[in-house]
Structure 1
């Protein structure tokens, strides 16, 4: 009799414990192994994103919005802002693609000019240096360019490159503090990109994608195969969410939003000779910074780019997403002459999706 009472006393709390345990503990094997895209879609639906909006987002931005919800805890309004921003950027990209296919350059959508001798002339009449990139020009990647007769080349660079197979990057970027003027000839850049390669060693084109500082403002820019420059007119805030991708075969796109994911501006680049594949199968995606110049004779002129910051950086491919960490990254290099590299410093917080970069010519 006493033994049966003891068993009853033990059994009842056990039953109560089972009753209050959350259902997620008992997730089925099928739920645990669910397709990453379907899991992302389900999370978006739980947060009020409609089937129509999910379809319009496309696979890559379903993953990217999912990651922002998971890691940043977006509010309902921020989610709406995100969805609307993708819609606006995609519409802009469609206009550009249709114009390009019909031989039209529509200056009302974005500014486009030919790069001549490493420089481009902007709508305000200022001529600025454009970063020289061996990858766009179709050669192997160079970590260091050293001349026995000169301490300067075309400017220092720092890039973090993902292995082949990804087609999109998102990151919350703190724009660096800068001191530079057009007359000094030194132009600071946020220098990400999408480059054509199958082995992360030999390259045959692509595009630098990011932002540049000129005349007191940061603006989006793309410099692609064929020496054509594209830029926006909208000024970027000090903290900006960047979403850039190979949005279709032969097309790249970058969108800038504020810290609450309100759309600011977007630009895109479409040409048949860019040779990038939308599935990422021949694409290397990158983040980075640069100081570009053509006619500078001193790297002690007082110019600087300080504490540019890529944070919470994710890369995407059709099958899913990943932090841009050591398992994804194949290169993380300072580039330039020996003296230019000496002016570049990097503080990596979390390899390699959270880092600061400075280039100091003081």
Structure 2
């Protein structure tokens, strides 16, 4: 299943591809129509269509190369620019100074903006706009006063600015979507790392001193074994008591880690989902639940929320708890795979925990195109 950023990237690129294909068909049809009307020779029309094909074929290739980052301008960019420049003198202009035919050159400037820094882009845009606006005046077959040149220049400058800004905003949208997804993954990894660090710190505090004392007492007992058996036995008895107390402290620490607060987990999942851009609706009835049932459901909520964040592209999630039954429904399942997915270690461990406690667990897509996690525990 494609991730949300990859889907957004494809939508943006396919949208631009469709726009370029439509523009190519419009230009090519216009050229053919002019040839049919006798306004342009057939050989010239064929050359125009060839140049249009070269420009609109290289356009999506160059755009994809610059979509992830700003690379160095490749030689293909010059080829595309040459096609756009060659179209300007080959295509006729109407007497009312419309500049439809020179839009390919402005499109090329917008494409070059993906590869150039702001100042070189601005310099290139000014140069192209000045040349094109002057060419439009000079190529008009009706006597035109240079007094209209500022108007033509303004139109060309406006069109160029809109195209360049539109192209840059197009790529910026993808960067925002990509960075937002990466930040969500980073937050998930950071939460796991912090939990591991806390567990490691607690184990060090619990066992560090005890194991050091046990090591010293064992070494002392080994040295006293041949000299003072009674004292050696006393030292080993001390080692046994220390080991037993350390084992008890570790068991208590693990028990505390396994005891979760259901309300805190619900609030944490809501915060995490909303931070990831998904709405979260929670409906609960918790008054008749035992402490053990609340702990089991808290584990289910935590694992279910993690599963939504890491493995789906959900935009909404609903959590309902009633009578010891938890249902988490989200819309991020996407296309149903040909074979059922294999549950991960987290879901498998959660299922074993619930079944052992006398409950039940299921996690699978629904016929409505959603994903349902259902956990039932003895109330």
Q: TM (normalized to structure 2)? A: 0.28
Q: Which has the higher strand share?
A: 1
Q: Which has the larger radius of gyration?
A: 2
Q: Which has the higher helix share?
A: 2
